[in-house]
Amino acid sequence: MTAVTAGLAAQLVLALLSSVLTFSVPARARSRVSGISCALISTAGAATGALALAGGRGSLTIPLALPVDPLTLSPDRLGGLFMLVASAVGILVSVYGISYAHGPSASRTSWAALAFFLVGMQLVPAAADAMSFLLMWEVMALASTALLLADHAHGRQVSSATVWYSAMSQLSFLLLLGGFTVLSAAAESTSFSAMRAVSSQSPTASIVFVILILGFGSKAGLVPLHVWLPRAHPEAPSHISAAMSAAMVKMGVYGALLVCIRLLPDGPAWWGVLLLILGGISAMYGILQAAVASDVKKLLAYSTTENVGLIFLGLGASMLLRSYDATAAADVAIIAALFLVVSHAAFKAPLFLGAGSILHATGERNLDRLGGLGRRMPWTGAAFGIASLGAAALPITSGFVAEWMLLQGLIHGARVDGELVSLPVSIAMPLAVAVIALTAGLALLTFVKAYGIAFLARPRSPAAASAHEVPALMRIAPLIGAVAILALGLLPGPVAVALASAIGPEAVMNVRTIGLAGVGLPSIGALLDPVGLLIAAALVAIPVLTIIVVTSKRHPQRVAKLVWGGGGERNNPRMQYTATSYAEPLLRVFDDVLQPSRDVQVTHVDESRYLVQRIKVEQRVSDRVETGLYRPVLSFADRIGVLARRLQNGSIHRYLGYSFAALLVVLVAVSL
Query: In the window 436-455, what residues touch another protein (CB under 8 A)?
Result: 436-438, 440-442, 444-445, 448-449, 451-453
- Residue 171 CA to residue 71 CA, distance in Å, equals 23
The vertex-367 CA angle with 572 and 240, nearest 5°, equals 150
Q: Which of 551, 622 has the CB closer to another protein?
A: 551
Query: Looking at beta carbons only, is 182 or 411 nearer to another protein?
Result: 411
> What is the C-alpha to C-alpha distance for residues 198 and 219, in angstroms, rounded to an integer?
25
Using the rule CB under 8 A, which residue among 418, 505, 641, 650 binds another protein? 418
Q: Which of 259, 312, 251, 308 is nearest to 83 (CA)?
A: 251
CA-CA-CA-CA torsion sign (615, 586, 395, 494): positive
What span, in angstroms and rounded, lies between the C-alpha atoms of 96 and 353?
A: 8
Q: Does 414 bind another protein (CB under 8 A)?
A: yes
Q: Which residues have C-beta within 8 Å of that of residue 202, sequence separation ≥ 6?
A: 186
- CA–CA distance, 161 with 293 (Å, rounded to integer): 17
Of 152-160, 355-363, 426-434, 652-660, the window that binds another protein (rule: CB under 8 A) is 426-434
DSSP 127-139: B-BHHHHHHHHHH
Residue 543-562 contact track with another protein, rule CB under 8 A, x = bound: -xx-xx--xx-xxxxxxxxx
Does 364 engage in binding with another protein (CB under 8 A)? no
CB of 365 to another protein, least distance (A): 19
Closest contact distance (angstroms) between CB of 273 and another protein is: 13
Q: Which stretch binds another protein (CB under 8 A): 158-166, 206-214, 586-594, 651-659?
A: 586-594
Nearer to another protein, 56 or 459 (CB): 459
The span from the CA of 39 to the CA of 46, in Å, is: 10
Q: Residues 316-355: x/- map of binding to another protein (CB under 8 A)?
A: ----------------------------------------
Considering only 257-265, 296-304, 492-500, 582-590, which stretch makes contact with another protein by CB under 8 A?
A: 582-590
Stretch of 21-29, 46-54, 122-130, 366-374 lying at the interface with another protein (CB under 8 A)? 366-374
By CB under 8 A, name the one of 70, 268, 395, 596 that touches another protein.
395
> Binding residue for another protein (CB under 8 A) from 533, 621, 625, 629?
533
86, 247 contact by CB (below 8 A): yes
Q: Name the minimum Å distance from CB 450 to another protein.
A: 11
Helix (H, G, I), strand (E, B) or coil at 283: helix
Among 298, 365, 369, 412, binds another protein (CB under 8 A): 412
**H runs (alpha helix) in 363-422:** 373-376, 378-391, 398-411
Q: Cα torsion for 608, 609, 614, 618, to the nearest 10°? A: 170
Which residue, 125, 403, 336, is CA-closest to 247? 125
Min CB(226)–another protein separation in Å: 21
Residue 404, interface with another protein (CB under 8 A)?
Answer: yes
- The CB-of-438 to another protein minimum distance in angstroms stands at 5
Residue numbers 616-655 binding another protein by CB under 8 A: none
Q: Check binding of 526 to another protein (CB under 8 A).
A: yes
Site stretch for another protein (CB under 8 A), options 494-502, 578-586, 614-622, 642-650: 578-586
Q: Which stretch binds another protein (CB under 8 A): 47-55, 72-80, 86-94, 584-592?
A: 584-592
Outline where DSSP puts E strands in 145-288: none
Q: CA 95, 101, 105, 110: dihedral to nearest 10 degrees?
A: 30
The count of chain residues that interact with another protein, using the rule CB under 8 A, is 90
595 contributes a contact to another protein by CB under 8 A: no
For position 586 contacting another protein by CB under 8 A, the verdict is yes
DSSP secondary structure code for residue 497 in this structure: H
Residue 536 exposed, middle or buried by CB count within 10 Å (0-12, 13-18, 19+) = exposed
Position 372 contacts another protein (CB under 8 A): yes
Q: Is 458 in the site for another protein (CB under 8 A)?
A: yes
SS (H, E, C) 70-117: CEEECCCHHHHHHHHHHHHHHHHHHHHHHHHCCHHHHCHHHHHHHHHH
213 with 258: CB under 8 angstroms?
no
CB of 297 to another protein, least distance (A): 20
Among 573, 596, 624, 629, binds another protein (CB under 8 A): 573
Q: How far is the CB of 564 from another protein (least distance, A)?
A: 5
When the beta carbons of 37 and 408 are compared against another protein, the nearer one is 408
What gap in Å lies between CA 42 and CA 94, rounded to an integer?
Answer: 9
Residues between 114 and 143 with contacts to another protein, criterion CB under 8 A: none
| Least distance CB 383 / another protein (angstroms) | 16
Interface residue with another protein among 393, 480, 490, 499 (CB under 8 A) is: 393
Q: How far are the Cα atoms of 90, 199, 312, 315, 453 from residue 334, in angstroms, in the given order?
A: 25, 22, 9, 5, 35
Q: CA of 231: how far to CAs of 203, 278, 479, 594, 597, in Å? A: 36, 21, 27, 18, 20
